[in-house]
Amino acid sequence: MVANSHQKASASNDVSVSQLYACAGKDPCAGSSNSRSVGGPLARELQGKPVVVDIYASWCSACKNIEPTMSQLKQKYQGQAHFIVFDVSDKAKVSQSEARARQLGLGDFFDQNKSQTGSITIVNPEDGEILSQDRNNSNLSDSTSVLDNAISQR
């Protein structure tokens, strides 16, 4: 299990994505969770606000660790961000979450990240850019700084 793996991408960075992420654009790594995009714009219902995606499972200790952080984020950013929880606790919930992910334009992201329980991913809905992705990181300020920046750019 990866702990505190904070990854950020910057649009103003001169380094290409392929230089930053060895798997970018290469078929052998197509399933890599290092992709900096969910594959394109998200569903219309998610436009206008950053999207916070939580990959959750009832048996996941990392999920329990980040639960207070998610609760605080939901409270602080109510009405300013969309919050989506994909529950992967069992096969039935995985199927439900997969169907919902496809409806929201997050199908490829879900396929690549459904095993990354205890992760918080912040996505720009207009272009699908992953702004931040943390796993088992309960540090609230890591997510608030990304959300504050995303909201201020709207």
Whether 3 is in a domain gets the answer no
Give the pLDDT confidence score for residue 6 in this predicted structure: 42
pLDDT band at 35 (very low <50, low <70, confident <90, very high): low
Q: What is the mean pLDDT of residues 26-43?
A: 60
pLDDT more than 70, % of the chain: 77
Residues 6+ apart with CB under 8 A from 140: 69, 72, 73
Q: What is the mean pLDDT of residues 31-51?
A: 79
- What is the residue range of 34's domain? 8-152
Measure the CA–CA gap between 59 and 153, rounded to whole angstroms: 37
Q: Beta partners for 52?
A: 83, 122
Give the pLDDT confidence score for residue 41 in this predicted structure: 85
Global pTM value: 0.76
Whether 74 is in a domain gets the answer yes
Say whether pLDDT at 42 is over 70: yes
User: How many domains does the chain divide into?
Assistant: 1
Whether 116 is in a domain gets the answer yes
Which residue carries 């399933």 as its tokens? 31
Interval 122-151: pLDDT, tens: 999 999 999 999 999 999 999 999 999 999
CATH number at residue 64: 3.40.30.10
pLDDT band at 29 (very low <50, low <70, confident <90, very high): very low
Whether 1 is in a domain gets the answer no
Say whether pLDDT at 22 is over 60: no
3-state secondary structure at position 8:
strand
Interval 72-118: pLDDT, tens: 999 999 999 999 999 999 999 999 999 999 999 999 999 999 999 99
Half-sphere exposure at residue 9, Cβ-oriented, CA atoms within 13 angstroms? 22
- Between β-strands 82-87 and 51-56, what pairing exists: parallel, antiparallel or unpaired? parallel
Whether 31 is in a domain gets the answer yes
Residues 6+ apart with CB under 8 A from 136: 1, 2, 3, 4, 62, 65, 66, 118, 119
Task: Tell me the backbone φ, ψ of residue 56, rounded to 5 degrees.
Answer: -120, 145
Which tokens in the block code for residue 120?
A: 């918080």
Whether 2 is in a domain gets the answer no
Q: What is the mean pLDDT of residues 41-55?
A: 93
Whether 57 is in a domain gets the answer yes
Measure the CA–CA gap between 92 and 97, rounded to whole angstroms: 9
